[in-house]
């Protein structure tokens, strides 16, 4: 077994504290997300101890962002009315210092969402989470992947992630077999996870919602984002050991997110 040096930036106790904070405070997370994953995302948030609210109408998005603990903006199915709601919610989140997460699904590969994502970047997301191809495209250094699928490795997106974090002030998370999280100065790798997450609709999109819940209750956005990824990875490993395939994995994954204790997360997460 290869020894992995612990992260100098995030201590295991930070992971435990982040999960405990979400469980004790029940953050209210406004989700402006895609229609394919809304139900799964809501169940994931409930399982971790947060409260989901799928509020994306232009007439409601502004008001709700003012009372939400955190906001997710996911570009998976950006129909016209929702696009307007996203801009309004992100603007209101900035006014009320509500942390919000940008998940730039399929950016670079498709023009409408690419233009929207670049407009949203100007509204100061707290966290940007995507696969390697999406992060490269969002930084302006590539054309994106194959639809929602990455065609780049995480390591190839490192420079783009660092540049994007420094330019926007956001924590940037690149998801893959090993996740990379950076604030432009500090960088952390999260090891683990299971490939069955890529065979369940919403596996990546729901992680953006978990990042919003953790960001809502933490003073250190880097540590919060690392904790969200480490927690997600550990739950997927435990779920894969119990399930026989994607369907049973999804069920067990929700259960394991609810079952993992802060102490278990601190003990078993592998970050470097």
For the chain, the C-alpha Rg in angstroms (whole number) is 17
86 is in an annotated binding site: no
Token pair for residue 114?
Answer: 């690419």
Token pair for residue 71?
Answer: 């906001």
202 is in an annotated binding site: yes
83 is in an annotated binding site: no
| CB-CB contact of 50 with 26 (8 Å) | yes
- H or E element that contains 234: helix 221-242
Geometric angle at alpha carbon 269, from 224 and 237, rounded to 5°: 110
76 is in an annotated binding site: no
Nearest alpha-carbon partner for 133 in 112, 167, 116, 110: 110
Geometric angle at alpha carbon 204, from 222 and 4, rounded to 5°: 50
Binding residues: 54, 129, 175, 202
Binding residues for ATP: 129, 175
């Amino acid at each position: 077994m290869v020894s992995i040096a612990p992260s100098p930036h995030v201590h295991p106790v930070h992971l435990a504290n982040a999960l405990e904070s979400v469980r004790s405070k029940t953050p209210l997370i406004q989700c402006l997300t895609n229609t394919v994953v809304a139900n799964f995302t809501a169940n994931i948030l409930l399982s971790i101890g947060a409260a989901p609210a799928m509020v994306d109408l232009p007439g409601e998005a502004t008001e709700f962002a003012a009372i939400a603990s955190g906001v997710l903006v996911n570009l998976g199915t950006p129909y016209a009315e929702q696009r307007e709601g996203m801009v309004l919610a992100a603007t209101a989140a900035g006014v009320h210092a509500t942390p919000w997460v940008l998940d730039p699904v399929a950016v670079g590969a498709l023009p409408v969402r690419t233009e929207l994502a670049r407009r949203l970047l100007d509204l100061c997301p707290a966290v940007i989470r995507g696969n390697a191809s999406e992060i490269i495209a969002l930084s302006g250094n590539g054309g994106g992947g194959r639809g929602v699928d990455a065609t780049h490795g995480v390591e190839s997106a490192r420079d783009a992630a660092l540049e994007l974090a420094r330019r926007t002030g956001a924590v940037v998370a690149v998801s893959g077999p090993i996740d990379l999280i950076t604030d432009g100065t500090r960088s952390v790798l999260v090891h683990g996870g299971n490939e069955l997450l890529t065979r369940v609709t919403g596996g990546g999109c729901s992680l953006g919602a978990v990042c919003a819940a953790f960001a809502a209750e933490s003073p250190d956005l880097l540590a919060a984002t690392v904790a969200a990824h480490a927690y997600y990875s550990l739950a997927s490993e435990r779920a894969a050991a119990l399930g026989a395939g994607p369907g049973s994995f999804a069920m067990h994954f929700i259960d394991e997110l609810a079952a993992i204790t802060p102490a278990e997360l601190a003990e078993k997460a592998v970050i470097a």
